[in-house]
Amino acid sequence: MKKYISIALALLLIIAIFAGCAAKSKPANNENTDKLSVVATIFAPFDFARQVAGDNADVTMLLPPASESHSFEPTPRDIITIQNADVFIYVGGESDDWVNNVLDSMDTSKMKIVTLMDCVEVVEEEVVEGMQEESGEPESEEPEYDEHVWTSPRNAKLIAQKLSDTFCAVDPTRADAYKANTAAYLAELDELDGKFRAVVDGATRKTLVFGDRFPFRYFADAYGLDYFAAFPGCSTETEASAATVAFLIDKVRAEQIPVVFHIELSNAKIADTLAEATGAKVLELHAAHNISKADFESGVTYLDIMTQNSDALREALN
């Protein structure tokens, strides 16, 4: 399968090169060649980049709004967009395997590449009690690291600072603006971190239950939370086993958990099943992989999403 993917990507790149020859010197999606061109694969780094850059760069998100991030495949247009970028930002986990194939197939000598997983201390993805493991997958000797590093506001600060440093290096004439934007944004992330700490410190419980994937490992670690979920963060499974559902139902009942979570753009079927069996309320905890088209068009930010999460978290922990 990887062989066929590589061949397909090579063909797409050839198309992109011929289609984009006349536009190579221009930033993605912008006719103003003076502005920095920044391309991010998914929503969280896209938003970090635009907060740091302000009006001094054109920031593009490859992932179409409302689409699933883990199954994204680049189009020829996407490859042109990457090729024309001054700065390219991606996560660096297993779901980004396609990125390595694309980057290996093009000249990146004039492009700065930022990998989110290189900005922070990563942890291995874990399978907690009751969680359904991926079926049909051969065991690998290599550890699989959790790629959802941005879900912790403390990690978001590290990522934003790395982006700021990168933008300043590539575009030194606007360094003062990038630094000022970054300082203001880091202060807002500190405020967000304090809000979450206040919620957790004042809570009556420390356990979260997800009838869904769990992409909040870094968030849970940052605030000392325990969790139970149907699947690990990057699982492709959508149907939980009877044993997993029964375990989660028992956990909700035993600990009198008032809220069962699902993540964004999910059908919430498992969470609904848990709620029907236990009387718990179903709420969304948004992992900022992607947002709806309406939210994208209205300018919703990572801070907006996480502030809503703090309200949901307060309800779940009390």
**CA 16, 20, 26, 28 torsion-angle sign:** negative
Q: Does residue 148 register a pLDDT over 50?
A: yes
Give the CATH fold of the 202-316 domain.
Rossmann fold (3.40.50)
- Could you tell me which residue, 302 or 144, shows the higher pLDDT? 302
pLDDT band at 136; cut points 50, 70, 90? low
Tell me, what's the pLDDT at 139?
59
Torsion, CA 9, CA 13, CA 19, CA 20, rounded to 10: 130
The answer to whether the beta carbons of residues 78 and 62 sit under 8 Å apart is yes
Question: pTM, whole model, 2 decimals?
Answer: 0.89
Q: Extract the tokens encoding 172.
A: 């030194």
Q: Does residue 1 register a pLDDT over 50?
A: no
Strand order in the sheet with 112-115: 57-61, 36-40, 87-90, 112-115
Query: What top-level class would CATH report for the domain 2-121+148-192?
Result: alpha beta
Q: Extract the tokens encoding 195.
A: 């809000």
For the chain, the structural domain boundaries read 2-121+148-192, 202-316
pLDDT band at 30; cut points 50, 70, 90? very low
Q: Extract the tokens encoding 281.
A: 């309320």
Tell me, what's the pLDDT at 234?
77
The answer to whether the beta carbons of residues 228 and 207 sit under 8 Å apart is yes
Nearest CA to 174 out of 89, 53, 25 is that of: 53
Per CATH, 2-121+148-192 and 202-316 having the same topology is answered: yes
